[in-house]
Structure 1
């Protein structure tokens, strides 16, 4: 295994799975999961898995999605309903809508005294407004901060200010802790809660058919990248790094699943590098369980991450992984046989590891699969969050005003 970069040490309160009795204690305290979504990315899939798992453990959990007025389809809400989950879509007609505050307040009043669990800065803002006259125990999960624009950095600062008002903050990597401490949030409110994923069914019978659909024969070595096509995912560097290998070896291909603001730029770059025939842009996919078995190796050259679900998903499919040593990735790849880490932004190291990985076709990582199934199932994640919920104050209480 090449994943030997140690995860940085930090002193945090770690949320661990608890016995099933925890769910019994919480039967009278429902949970509202609040998320403003722009698609079905890692954080969205994590929220879906948590909402489902809590309900499966007899904890009333409801997913409240804030309508994204920029998008015609509300993918998170639609997927929750398709899975039979208890889900509601809150109206939102612009950057700020008092109607959203009223709709959230109505949901809170309808269920009594819930735990309010938010999953992004917009949700934190609306939660703060809706609970000013109705204090509730509140939890926020930090899925990772984007810093690729001035507006995004401003939103991050606003979120940090709002988070001072929350009773518990869940982080998925050690790197997220220091900004919280600098913002004045007490260490005792910070919990490390690992993500969980919906585990694959194991049916990979149509992998060969998908390869033929993409024009990839069975002998081709396929690198897969699954990500939002945005700057922090660093996919432009991946195109640069794979170019010598793609030009020298017609048996190597790169399949990119996902959409985002950089798609046109990346497609044009693949064309200019002369590797367009070896790079397949699939766009957003709703069938990742079918797609992972097509890959021979997952590649994630991100500049920043929390605990990416794509790494957990690839591990669950026994895939070798080549990824940047950022966020929680080193800790995850420490539980693999064929994980490879590179320094973030190091194009030469990425190029060398791509070459090394392609020289080892057919490898599967059974150890990684076993680890994910035992430690990162939806049920294990739900038990960790139940530990956090049980630590929250009850009744009316004062919080620091953001």
Structure 2
């Protein structure tokens, strides 16, 4: 049995940590175990679950204290004698990857889950761009959640087809696409869950329920969802908006709902661990993000058969079913019309389709375990 060091940031209910946990639950833990390295201050850490599955947790200083972070991580990696480390911090992985290199970890995976931010995150975008080459420099293996995310961090040649004439660097930096896979049976639509959740949230049975799940932050663009919902209400007064998640912008979004006079029809559930039940209660799912790698919530929502509306800044690879659409940002009226047209068009074959397309977590976890085991003797 080998242990793999999974290097994360804060576990605050985001997509990257959810992907890692999905794989951890499904992987053969008699062959592969995960150790989780997290920033201090993580809010949603499934401590008991991780320990019960055989994993270990290590809390690190944040990158606000880079020297302390580097020294602590290098020491822990060296003491635990890892053969493989798997970094999920996008371009900020440059520091843990360097620590792993200095600690003698032979296999160092850089795994990108995202792309560049919106205008409000210009400083972060500059930092991401500056750190790209350093992150690549200290990695030995290159992963991404989608071709779009791969090209953003590794360059357009990273996913180009290999030929005999391919440049050596292209062959060396060949990227492995690791799907944001899920338990497709778990996310299958349930009429029972639909009734129960609507009753729990005091939503009338015949309401049009628009749903969103995500961390409240500029990336997810939740203020635009409130704008869309106001347009929807003008045409359907039975509509209800359910917003699930937590984050720094949550109170700001609540204030926007009040300012636009729609707060009485908006349900803020907070962070929840039963997303599969919520999807069954929704009639439509919105994700007008400013940027995404390949959002796991988009995979989950489609697995439930939901019609999904994504912004055209989300990777096209998220379109797994015919019920998914892309719209440009800027005009909430157009989004509202799309919501009213597509709601209720559920795809009953969704879990089977996603399984065929490689998004079943048990199959994907076997592939990941095989990769780890093949490379553990490097």
- Pair in the same fold by TM > 0.5: yes
Alpha-carbon distance change, 392 to 94 in structure 1, aligned in 2, over 3 angstroms: closer
Q: CA deviation at 1:392?
A: 5.5
| 2: CA distance, partners of 1:98 / 1:80 | 31
| 1: CA distance, partners of 2:373 / 2:270 | 40
Alpha-carbon distance change, 78 to 131 in structure 1, aligned in 2, over 3 angstroms: same
Taking structure 2 as the reference length, the TM-score comes to 0.83
Q: CA deviation at 1:146?
A: 5.0
Counterpart for residue 166 of structure 2:
none
The runs of 5 or more residues in structure 2 that have no matched partner are 159-168
1:336 counterpart = 2:305: no
The runs of 5 or more residues in structure 1 that have no matched partner are 1-26, 396-402
Counterpart for residue 164 of structure 2:
none
Counterpart for residue 162 of structure 2:
none
Provide the secondary structure at the position in 2 that maps to 1:218: coil
Counterpart for residue 6 of structure 1:
none
Higher relative contact order by CA 8 Å / sep ≥ 6: 1 or 2? 1
Alpha-carbon distance change, 139 to 88 in structure 1, aligned in 2, over 3 angstroms: same
1:123-272 correspondence runs (5 A): 123-147=93-117, 148-160=120-132, 161-181=134-154, 186-188=169-171, 189=173, 190-201=175-186, 205-272=192-259
| 2: CA distance, partners of 1:390 / 1:209 | 43
| 2: CA distance, partners of 1:349 / 1:182 | 34
Moved more, 335-344 or 103-112: 103-112
| 1: CA distance, partners of 2:82 / 2:50 | 24
1:368 counterpart = 2:350: yes
| 1: CA distance, partners of 2:237 / 2:51 | 41
Counterpart for residue 87 of structure 1:
56
CA contact (8 A) 2:242 2:268 kept: yes
| 1: CA distance, partners of 2:100 / 2:350 | 42
Alpha-carbon distance change, 348 to 89 in structure 1, aligned in 2, over 3 angstroms: same
Alignment match of 2:335 (pick from 331, 350, 370): 350
Counterpart for residue 378 of structure 1:
361
CA contact (8 A) 1:337 1:368 kept: no
| 1: CA distance, partners of 2:156 / 2:231 | 45
Q: CA deviation at 1:115?
A: 1.2
Deviations 1:257-312 (A, max 9, x none): 11222222221221222211222122221221222211111111112111111011
| 2: CA distance, partners of 1:158 / 1:96 | 19
| 2: CA distance, partners of 1:85 / 1:181 | 34
Number of aligned pairs? Answer: 359
Q: Which has the higher helix share?
A: 2
Deviations 1:80-123 (A, max 9, x none): 42662412123326722655445534543455442111111455
| 1: CA distance, partners of 2:226 / 2:377 | 52
The alignment's C-alpha RMSD in Å is 2.9
Counterpart for residue 307 of structure 1:
294
CA contact (8 A) 1:197 1:313 kept: yes
